[in-house]
Chains A and B, each alone.
Chain A
Amino acid sequence: MIKVEKLHKYFGDLHVLKGVDLEVAPQEVVVMIGASGSGKSTLLRCLNFLEMKNQGRILIDGKEVDPATTPLNEVREHVGMVFQHFNLFPHMTVLENVIEAPVHVKKVPKAEAIKRGKELLEKVGLGDKGDVYPEKLSGGQKQRVAIARALAMEPSVMLFDEPTSALDPELVGEVLEVMKGLAADGMTMVVVTHEMGFAREVADRVVFLDNGMIAEQGDPETFFQNPQHPKAKQFLSRVL
Protein backbone atom coordinates (compact mmCIF):
# COMPACT_ATOMS: atom_id res chain seq x y z
CA MET A 1 0.00 0.00 0.00
CA ILE A 2 2.65 2.46 1.16
CA LYS A 3 6.33 1.84 1.06
CA VAL A 4 9.02 4.21 2.20
CA GLU A 5 12.69 3.53 1.57
CA LYS A 6 15.62 5.37 3.13
CA LEU A 7 13.67 8.58 3.46
CA HIS A 8 15.63 11.68 4.40
CA LYS A 9 14.17 15.09 5.05
CA TYR A 10 15.98 18.30 5.91
CA PHE A 11 14.64 21.66 6.92
CA GLY A 12 17.61 23.77 6.00
CA ASP A 13 20.44 22.34 8.08
CA LEU A 14 18.09 20.45 10.35
CA HIS A 15 18.14 16.75 9.52
CA VAL A 16 14.64 15.71 10.55
CA LEU A 17 14.17 12.28 8.96
CA LYS A 18 17.30 10.18 8.88
CA GLY A 19 16.68 7.25 6.61
CA VAL A 20 13.22 5.96 7.46
CA ASP A 21 12.08 2.60 6.06
CA LEU A 22 8.43 1.82 6.49
CA GLU A 23 5.95 -0.43 4.83
CA VAL A 24 2.22 -0.37 5.40
CA ALA A 25 0.20 -3.32 4.15
CA PRO A 26 -3.38 -3.04 2.89
CA GLN A 27 -5.86 -2.89 5.77
CA GLU A 28 -3.08 -2.50 8.28
CA VAL A 29 -3.35 0.01 11.11
CA VAL A 30 0.03 1.47 12.01
CA VAL A 31 0.27 3.70 15.05
CA MET A 32 3.28 5.98 15.14
CA ILE A 33 4.47 7.30 18.47
CA GLY A 34 7.47 9.23 19.66
CA ALA A 35 8.51 12.33 21.52
CA SER A 36 7.56 15.76 20.29
CA GLY A 37 9.96 16.84 17.57
CA SER A 38 10.96 13.29 16.64
CA GLY A 39 9.63 13.77 13.10
CA LYS A 40 6.22 12.05 13.19
CA SER A 41 4.33 14.84 11.50
CA THR A 42 7.06 15.35 8.95
CA LEU A 43 7.00 11.67 8.01
CA LEU A 44 3.24 11.70 7.68
CA ARG A 45 3.32 14.88 5.62
CA CYS A 46 5.93 13.39 3.31
CA LEU A 47 3.52 10.54 2.62
CA ASN A 48 1.05 12.86 0.93
CA PHE A 49 3.69 15.30 -0.28
CA LEU A 50 2.76 18.28 1.83
CA GLU A 51 6.48 18.10 2.56
CA MET A 52 8.94 17.05 -0.10
CA LYS A 53 11.49 14.41 0.75
CA ASN A 54 15.15 15.15 0.07
CA GLN A 55 16.28 11.57 -0.48
CA GLY A 56 14.75 8.14 -0.64
CA ARG A 57 11.74 6.61 -2.32
CA ILE A 58 8.05 6.71 -1.61
CA LEU A 59 5.77 4.16 -3.26
CA ILE A 60 2.01 4.48 -3.12
CA ASP A 61 -0.03 1.51 -4.35
CA GLY A 62 3.15 -0.05 -5.67
CA LYS A 63 4.14 2.91 -7.81
CA GLU A 64 7.00 5.19 -6.99
CA VAL A 65 5.89 8.79 -6.73
CA ASP A 66 8.34 11.25 -8.17
CA PRO A 67 7.07 14.76 -7.44
CA ALA A 68 8.80 16.04 -10.57
CA THR A 69 6.80 13.83 -12.92
CA THR A 70 3.71 12.65 -11.03
CA PRO A 71 0.76 15.03 -10.60
CA LEU A 72 0.64 15.13 -6.82
CA ASN A 73 -3.03 16.06 -6.67
CA GLU A 74 -3.84 12.71 -8.24
CA VAL A 75 -1.75 10.86 -5.68
CA ARG A 76 -3.38 12.78 -2.87
CA GLU A 77 -6.84 11.71 -4.02
CA HIS A 78 -5.92 8.27 -2.74
CA VAL A 79 -4.32 9.42 0.50
CA GLY A 80 -6.72 10.97 2.98
CA MET A 81 -5.36 13.17 5.74
CA VAL A 82 -6.82 14.26 9.04
CA PHE A 83 -5.12 17.16 10.81
CA GLN A 84 -4.71 18.02 14.45
CA HIS A 85 -6.53 21.32 13.92
CA PHE A 86 -9.26 19.91 11.64
CA ASN A 87 -8.81 22.53 8.93
CA LEU A 88 -12.45 22.49 7.97
CA PHE A 89 -13.47 25.10 5.42
CA PRO A 90 -15.24 27.71 7.55
CA HIS A 91 -17.18 29.32 4.69
CA MET A 92 -18.91 26.06 3.80
CA THR A 93 -21.50 24.07 5.67
CA VAL A 94 -20.62 20.67 7.03
CA LEU A 95 -22.15 18.91 4.03
CA GLU A 96 -20.50 21.33 1.60
CA ASN A 97 -17.16 20.54 3.24
CA VAL A 98 -17.75 16.86 2.65
CA ILE A 99 -18.86 17.09 -0.99
CA GLU A 100 -16.40 19.78 -2.06
CA ALA A 101 -13.64 17.50 -3.32
CA PRO A 102 -15.86 14.76 -4.78
CA VAL A 103 -17.77 17.35 -6.81
CA HIS A 104 -14.87 19.55 -7.89
CA VAL A 105 -12.04 17.07 -8.09
CA LYS A 106 -13.68 13.75 -8.95
CA LYS A 107 -16.55 15.40 -10.83
CA VAL A 108 -19.12 13.25 -9.07
CA PRO A 109 -22.63 14.50 -9.92
CA LYS A 110 -23.76 16.78 -7.13
CA ALA A 111 -26.89 14.82 -6.20
CA GLU A 112 -24.86 11.66 -5.87
CA ALA A 113 -22.17 13.42 -3.83
CA ILE A 114 -24.82 14.81 -1.49
CA LYS A 115 -26.35 11.37 -0.99
CA ARG A 116 -22.95 9.85 -0.27
CA GLY A 117 -21.98 12.81 1.90
CA LYS A 118 -25.06 12.39 4.05
CA GLU A 119 -24.29 8.69 4.47
CA LEU A 120 -20.79 9.54 5.61
CA LEU A 121 -22.05 12.13 8.08
CA GLU A 122 -24.46 9.53 9.36
CA LYS A 123 -21.57 7.15 9.76
CA VAL A 124 -19.60 9.59 11.92
CA GLY A 125 -22.72 10.34 13.93
CA LEU A 126 -23.43 13.78 12.51
CA GLY A 127 -26.34 13.07 10.20
CA ASP A 128 -28.25 16.05 11.57
CA LYS A 129 -25.42 18.59 11.18
CA GLY A 130 -25.15 18.82 7.41
CA ASP A 131 -26.49 22.35 7.13
CA VAL A 132 -24.52 23.77 10.04
CA TYR A 133 -21.35 25.82 9.67
CA PRO A 134 -18.22 24.39 11.32
CA GLU A 135 -17.94 27.22 13.85
CA LYS A 136 -21.10 25.91 15.50
CA LEU A 137 -19.53 22.50 16.20
CA SER A 138 -17.52 21.20 19.12
CA GLY A 139 -13.95 20.09 18.48
CA GLY A 140 -14.92 16.45 18.48
CA GLN A 141 -17.67 17.09 15.97
CA LYS A 142 -15.31 19.09 13.78
CA GLN A 143 -12.82 16.29 13.71
CA ARG A 144 -15.51 13.77 12.80
CA VAL A 145 -16.56 16.02 9.91
CA ALA A 146 -12.91 16.20 8.83
CA ILE A 147 -12.79 12.41 8.82
CA ALA A 148 -15.99 12.23 6.76
CA ARG A 149 -14.58 14.82 4.37
CA ALA A 150 -11.43 12.76 3.81
CA LEU A 151 -13.44 9.55 3.42
CA ALA A 152 -15.64 11.15 0.77
CA MET A 153 -12.74 10.87 -1.67
CA GLU A 154 -12.67 7.11 -1.03
CA PRO A 155 -8.95 7.08 -0.27
CA SER A 156 -7.05 3.83 -0.11
CA VAL A 157 -5.18 4.96 2.99
CA MET A 158 -5.91 7.47 5.75
CA LEU A 159 -3.27 9.45 7.60
CA PHE A 160 -4.06 10.93 11.02
CA ASP A 161 -1.77 13.50 12.62
CA GLU A 162 -2.64 13.67 16.31
CA PRO A 163 -6.36 13.84 15.56
CA THR A 164 -7.35 14.16 19.21
CA SER A 165 -4.56 16.34 20.57
CA ALA A 166 -6.50 19.60 20.16
CA LEU A 167 -9.62 18.22 21.86
CA ASP A 168 -10.97 18.60 25.34
CA PRO A 169 -10.49 15.25 27.11
CA GLU A 170 -14.19 14.44 27.16
CA LEU A 171 -14.36 14.74 23.36
CA VAL A 172 -11.47 12.42 22.58
CA GLY A 173 -13.53 9.26 22.86
CA GLU A 174 -16.06 10.08 20.15
CA VAL A 175 -13.30 10.64 17.59
CA LEU A 176 -11.43 7.49 18.58
CA GLU A 177 -14.68 5.53 18.26
CA VAL A 178 -15.05 6.68 14.66
CA MET A 179 -11.45 5.72 13.96
CA LYS A 180 -11.95 2.30 15.52
CA GLY A 181 -14.95 1.83 13.27
CA LEU A 182 -12.84 2.69 10.25
CA ALA A 183 -10.17 0.23 11.27
CA ALA A 184 -12.81 -2.46 11.74
CA ASP A 185 -14.08 -1.73 8.22
CA GLY A 186 -10.64 -2.54 6.92
CA MET A 187 -9.30 0.93 6.19
CA THR A 188 -5.55 1.18 5.90
CA MET A 189 -4.44 3.74 8.45
CA VAL A 190 -1.31 5.47 9.69
CA VAL A 191 -2.06 7.21 12.96
CA VAL A 192 0.17 9.52 14.96
CA THR A 193 -1.27 9.72 18.44
CA HIS A 194 -0.52 9.91 22.11
CA GLU A 195 -3.56 7.77 22.91
CA MET A 196 -1.84 4.60 24.03
CA GLY A 197 -5.13 2.90 24.74
CA PHE A 198 -6.09 3.31 21.11
CA ALA A 199 -2.70 1.97 20.02
CA ARG A 200 -3.03 -1.13 22.17
CA GLU A 201 -6.54 -1.84 21.10
CA VAL A 202 -6.54 -1.00 17.40
CA ALA A 203 -2.99 -1.02 16.07
CA ASP A 204 -1.64 -3.94 14.12
CA ARG A 205 1.78 -2.46 14.57
CA VAL A 206 3.34 0.26 16.66
CA VAL A 207 6.23 2.27 15.25
CA PHE A 208 8.39 4.23 17.67
CA LEU A 209 10.16 7.18 16.11
CA ASP A 210 13.16 8.70 17.81
CA ASN A 211 15.18 11.58 16.48
CA GLY A 212 14.14 11.01 12.88
CA MET A 213 14.66 7.26 12.88
CA ILE A 214 12.47 4.27 13.57
CA ALA A 215 14.02 3.06 16.79
CA GLU A 216 11.67 0.18 17.37
CA GLN A 217 8.54 -1.36 15.96
CA GLY A 218 6.38 -4.36 16.62
CA ASP A 219 2.94 -5.59 17.56
CA PRO A 220 1.42 -3.51 20.33
CA GLU A 221 1.31 -6.33 22.84
CA THR A 222 5.02 -6.99 22.70
CA PHE A 223 6.01 -3.38 22.33
CA PHE A 224 4.08 -2.10 25.32
CA GLN A 225 4.92 -5.07 27.54
CA ASN A 226 8.52 -5.28 26.71
CA PRO A 227 10.10 -2.38 24.85
CA GLN A 228 13.71 -2.95 23.85
CA HIS A 229 15.13 0.40 22.86
CA PRO A 230 16.15 2.54 25.84
CA LYS A 231 14.44 5.61 24.36
CA ALA A 232 11.25 3.60 23.90
CA LYS A 233 11.39 2.45 27.51
CA GLN A 234 11.93 6.01 28.65
CA PHE A 235 9.10 7.31 26.45
CA LEU A 236 6.65 4.67 27.62
CA SER A 237 7.48 5.20 31.28
CA ARG A 238 6.53 8.84 30.77
CA VAL A 239 3.27 8.36 28.89
CA LEU A 240 1.81 5.22 30.44
Chain B
Amino acid sequence: MTSFFENLISTFPAFMEAAWMTLRLTGVSLVLALVIGLIFALMKVTGVRWLGIVYNGYVGIIRGTPLIVQIMWLYFGITQIVVLSAFWAGTIALAIHSGAYIAEIFRGCIQSVDKGQMEAAESLGMKRALAMRRVILPQALKRAIPPLGNQFIIGLKDSSLVAFIGITEIFSLSMDNAAVTFKQLEFYSIAGLYYLAMVAIVTFVLSRVENRMDTAK
Protein backbone atom coordinates (compact mmCIF):
# COMPACT_ATOMS: atom_id res chain seq x y z
CA MET B 1 0.00 0.00 0.00
CA THR B 2 2.82 2.42 0.78
CA SER B 3 4.31 1.77 -2.63
CA PHE B 4 0.92 2.54 -4.18
CA PHE B 5 0.81 6.01 -2.63
CA GLU B 6 4.45 6.62 -3.42
CA ASN B 7 3.80 5.75 -7.02
CA LEU B 8 0.68 7.87 -7.07
CA ILE B 9 2.60 10.87 -5.80
CA SER B 10 5.76 10.44 -7.83
CA THR B 11 3.82 10.12 -11.08
CA PHE B 12 1.38 12.90 -10.22
CA PRO B 13 2.92 15.59 -12.47
CA ALA B 14 3.12 13.24 -15.44
CA PHE B 15 -0.44 12.06 -14.89
CA MET B 16 -1.73 15.60 -14.60
CA GLU B 17 -0.29 16.29 -18.01
CA ALA B 18 -1.82 13.08 -19.32
CA ALA B 19 -5.16 14.01 -17.75
CA TRP B 20 -5.00 17.33 -19.54
CA MET B 21 -4.51 15.43 -22.81
CA THR B 22 -7.48 13.21 -21.99
CA LEU B 23 -9.58 16.29 -21.31
CA ARG B 24 -8.54 17.94 -24.56
CA LEU B 25 -9.22 14.80 -26.57
CA THR B 26 -12.59 14.42 -24.93
CA GLY B 27 -13.57 18.07 -25.06
CA VAL B 28 -12.65 18.70 -28.67
CA SER B 29 -14.06 15.41 -29.89
CA LEU B 30 -17.35 15.93 -28.07
CA VAL B 31 -17.81 19.44 -29.44
CA LEU B 32 -17.25 18.06 -32.93
CA ALA B 33 -19.54 15.14 -32.13
CA LEU B 34 -22.33 17.51 -31.08
CA VAL B 35 -22.10 19.30 -34.42
CA ILE B 36 -21.98 16.02 -36.35
CA GLY B 37 -24.83 14.58 -34.29
CA LEU B 38 -27.08 17.60 -34.78
CA ILE B 39 -26.46 17.75 -38.52
CA PHE B 40 -27.18 14.05 -38.98
CA ALA B 41 -30.25 14.14 -36.75
CA LEU B 42 -31.66 17.05 -38.76
CA MET B 43 -30.93 15.18 -41.98
CA LYS B 44 -32.84 12.20 -40.68
CA VAL B 45 -35.93 14.11 -39.54
CA THR B 46 -36.37 15.96 -42.83
CA GLY B 47 -37.82 12.71 -44.09
CA VAL B 48 -35.84 13.05 -47.32
CA ARG B 49 -35.17 9.50 -48.39
CA TRP B 50 -31.53 9.61 -49.40
CA LEU B 51 -30.60 11.66 -46.34
CA GLY B 52 -32.21 8.98 -44.23
CA ILE B 53 -30.17 6.34 -46.02
CA VAL B 54 -26.96 8.27 -45.36
CA TYR B 55 -27.96 8.56 -41.71
CA ASN B 56 -28.74 4.87 -41.36
CA GLY B 57 -25.46 3.97 -43.02
CA TYR B 58 -23.43 6.20 -40.72
CA VAL B 59 -25.12 5.16 -37.51
CA GLY B 60 -25.22 1.52 -38.57
CA ILE B 61 -21.51 1.33 -39.34
CA ILE B 62 -20.42 3.19 -36.22
CA ARG B 63 -22.64 1.21 -33.89
CA GLY B 64 -21.77 -2.03 -35.62
CA THR B 65 -17.99 -1.82 -35.31
CA PRO B 66 -15.74 -1.47 -32.25
CA LEU B 67 -14.30 1.94 -31.48
CA ILE B 68 -10.78 0.58 -31.52
CA VAL B 69 -11.28 -0.59 -35.10
CA GLN B 70 -12.58 2.85 -36.04
CA ILE B 71 -9.56 4.52 -34.45
CA MET B 72 -7.14 2.26 -36.28
CA TRP B 73 -9.02 2.63 -39.51
CA LEU B 74 -8.90 6.40 -39.28
CA TYR B 75 -5.32 6.55 -38.09
CA PHE B 76 -3.86 4.22 -40.68
CA GLY B 77 -6.34 5.12 -43.39
CA ILE B 78 -6.58 8.88 -43.32
CA THR B 79 -2.91 9.47 -42.57
CA GLN B 80 -2.09 7.82 -45.90
CA ILE B 81 -3.98 10.60 -47.66
CA VAL B 82 -3.45 13.65 -45.47
CA VAL B 83 -0.85 14.41 -42.88
CA LEU B 84 -2.62 14.22 -39.57
CA SER B 85 -1.14 14.19 -36.10
CA ALA B 86 -2.01 11.32 -33.83
CA PHE B 87 -3.96 13.81 -31.70
CA TRP B 88 -6.21 14.84 -34.56
CA ALA B 89 -6.59 11.33 -35.87
CA GLY B 90 -7.68 10.25 -32.40
CA THR B 91 -9.92 13.25 -31.87
CA ILE B 92 -11.65 12.84 -35.20
CA ALA B 93 -12.14 9.13 -34.64
CA LEU B 94 -13.69 9.79 -31.23
CA ALA B 95 -15.85 12.57 -32.71
CA ILE B 96 -17.18 10.39 -35.50
CA HIS B 97 -17.85 7.63 -33.00
CA SER B 98 -19.68 9.74 -30.41
CA GLY B 99 -21.36 11.67 -33.23
CA ALA B 100 -23.38 8.62 -34.19
CA TYR B 101 -24.65 8.08 -30.65
CA ILE B 102 -25.34 11.77 -30.21
CA ALA B 103 -27.20 11.83 -33.54
CA GLU B 104 -29.42 9.08 -32.17
CA ILE B 105 -30.02 11.08 -28.99
CA PHE B 106 -30.95 14.21 -30.95
CA ARG B 107 -33.12 12.28 -33.39
CA GLY B 108 -35.00 10.60 -30.56
CA CYS B 109 -35.53 13.87 -28.70
CA ILE B 110 -36.68 15.72 -31.81
CA GLN B 111 -39.13 12.96 -32.64
CA SER B 112 -40.37 12.86 -29.06
CA VAL B 113 -41.69 16.42 -29.32
CA ASP B 114 -45.44 16.20 -29.80
CA LYS B 115 -46.29 16.53 -33.47
CA GLY B 116 -48.94 19.08 -32.60
CA GLN B 117 -46.07 21.50 -31.99
CA MET B 118 -44.93 21.40 -35.60
CA GLU B 119 -48.55 21.59 -36.77
CA ALA B 120 -49.23 24.64 -34.61
CA ALA B 121 -46.06 26.33 -35.86
CA GLU B 122 -46.87 25.55 -39.48
CA SER B 123 -50.46 26.70 -39.07
CA LEU B 124 -49.06 30.07 -37.99
CA GLY B 125 -47.24 30.35 -41.29
CA MET B 126 -43.82 29.23 -40.10
CA LYS B 127 -41.69 27.33 -42.59
CA ARG B 128 -40.47 23.95 -41.42
CA ALA B 129 -36.89 25.12 -40.90
CA LEU B 130 -38.00 28.10 -38.83
CA ALA B 131 -40.40 25.95 -36.83
CA MET B 132 -37.61 23.45 -36.24
CA ARG B 133 -35.25 26.15 -34.98
CA ARG B 134 -37.71 28.17 -32.91
CA VAL B 135 -40.18 25.56 -31.67
CA ILE B 136 -38.94 21.99 -31.93
CA LEU B 137 -35.21 22.20 -31.23
CA PRO B 138 -35.43 24.21 -27.99
CA GLN B 139 -37.74 21.57 -26.57
CA ALA B 140 -35.72 18.67 -27.98
CA LEU B 141 -32.36 20.00 -26.77
CA LYS B 142 -33.65 20.38 -23.26
CA ARG B 143 -34.73 16.76 -23.25
CA ALA B 144 -31.37 15.76 -24.73
CA ILE B 145 -29.32 17.05 -21.82
CA PRO B 146 -29.51 14.01 -19.51
CA PRO B 147 -28.71 11.43 -22.22
CA LEU B 148 -26.02 13.73 -23.62
CA GLY B 149 -24.41 13.91 -20.20
CA ASN B 150 -24.33 10.15 -20.15
CA GLN B 151 -22.76 10.12 -23.60
CA PHE B 152 -20.14 12.67 -22.51
CA ILE B 153 -19.05 10.37 -19.70
CA ILE B 154 -18.82 7.44 -22.08
CA GLY B 155 -16.79 9.64 -24.44
CA LEU B 156 -14.40 10.58 -21.67
CA LYS B 157 -13.71 6.95 -20.85
CA ASP B 158 -13.62 5.86 -24.49
CA SER B 159 -10.80 8.33 -25.10
CA SER B 160 -8.54 5.79 -23.37
CA LEU B 161 -8.53 3.75 -26.57
CA VAL B 162 -6.41 6.31 -28.44
CA ALA B 163 -3.54 5.05 -26.28
CA PHE B 164 -3.06 2.51 -29.04
CA ILE B 165 -2.12 5.13 -31.61
CA GLY B 166 0.59 6.60 -29.44
CA ILE B 167 -1.07 9.51 -27.71
CA THR B 168 0.13 10.05 -24.17
CA GLU B 169 -3.04 10.29 -22.17
CA ILE B 170 -4.00 8.68 -18.88
CA PHE B 171 -4.32 5.13 -20.07
CA SER B 172 -1.19 5.02 -22.20
CA LEU B 173 0.83 6.61 -19.41
CA SER B 174 -0.31 3.92 -17.02
CA MET B 175 0.52 1.26 -19.62
CA ASP B 176 4.02 2.66 -19.94
CA ASN B 177 4.52 2.79 -16.20
CA ALA B 178 3.13 -0.68 -15.76
CA ALA B 179 5.48 -2.06 -18.38
CA VAL B 180 8.54 -0.47 -16.86
CA THR B 181 7.81 -1.23 -13.21
CA PHE B 182 5.87 -4.50 -13.63
CA LYS B 183 3.32 -3.05 -11.19
CA GLN B 184 0.38 -3.54 -13.50
CA LEU B 185 -2.30 -3.65 -10.85
CA GLU B 186 -1.13 -0.45 -9.21
CA PHE B 187 -0.80 1.61 -12.32
CA TYR B 188 -4.07 0.52 -13.86
CA SER B 189 -5.71 1.31 -10.54
CA ILE B 190 -4.12 4.72 -10.61
CA ALA B 191 -5.51 5.20 -14.12
CA GLY B 192 -8.92 4.17 -12.78
CA LEU B 193 -8.69 6.74 -10.02
CA TYR B 194 -7.99 9.54 -12.45
CA TYR B 195 -10.93 8.55 -14.62
CA LEU B 196 -13.12 8.28 -11.54
CA ALA B 197 -12.14 11.78 -10.46
CA MET B 198 -12.74 13.24 -13.90
CA VAL B 199 -16.11 11.53 -14.26
CA ALA B 200 -17.06 12.84 -10.81
CA ILE B 201 -16.27 16.38 -11.92
CA VAL B 202 -18.18 16.02 -15.18
CA THR B 203 -21.13 14.49 -13.34
CA PHE B 204 -21.17 17.38 -10.90
CA VAL B 205 -21.11 19.98 -13.67
CA LEU B 206 -23.87 18.16 -15.54
CA SER B 207 -26.12 17.97 -12.52
CA ARG B 208 -25.71 21.71 -12.06
CA VAL B 209 -26.64 22.31 -15.68
CA GLU B 210 -29.69 20.07 -15.36
CA ASN B 211 -30.85 21.89 -12.26
CA ARG B 212 -30.41 25.19 -14.03
CA MET B 213 -32.53 24.00 -16.93
CA ASP B 214 -35.25 22.82 -14.58
CA THR B 215 -35.62 26.10 -12.75
CA ALA B 216 -34.84 28.58 -15.51
CA LYS B 217 -36.78 26.98 -18.40
Chain A residues in contact with chain B, CB under 8 A? Answer: 48, 50, 72-74, 76-77, 79-81, 83, 85, 87-91, 100-101, 104-106, 133, 146, 149-150, 153
Contacts and interface: CB of A to CB of B under 8 A. Distances in A.
A105 B135 CA distance: 13
B119 interface: yes
Contacts of A90: 139
Contact of B126 (A48, A73, A79, A81): A73
Contacts of A88: 120
Nearest to B141: A91
A153 B125 CA distance: 8
Contact of A73 (B122, B134, B135): B122
B116 A149 contact: no
Main secondary structure of the interface of B (DSSP, over half): helix
Nearest to A135: B217
A76 B102 CA distance: 34
B125 A50 contact: no
B124 A101 contact: yes
8 contacts: A72-B122, A74-B125, A81-B119, A87-B120, A89-B135, A91-B139, A104-B130, A150-B123
B130 A87 contact: no
Nearest to A105: B125
Contacts of B120: 81, 83, 87-89, 146
B119 A104 contact: no
Given A73-B126, A83-B120, A87-B120, 5 more contacts: A50-B123, A91-B138, A101-B121, A105-B125, A146-B120
Given A91-B138, A91-B142, A105-B130, A85 B125 contact: no
B21 to A, nearest CB: 38
A189 to B, nearest CB: 15
Q: Which 7 A-B pairs have the closest CB atoms?
A: A77-B125, A87-B120, A101-B124, A81-B123, A87-B116, A105-B125, A76-B125
B183 to A, nearest CB: 54
Contacts of A76: 122-125
A80 B124 CA distance: 7
A73 B127 contact: yes
Nearest to A101: B124
B117 interface: yes
A85 B126 CA distance: 19
Contact of B119 (A83, A133, A153): A83
A29 to B, nearest CB: 19
B122 A50 contact: yes
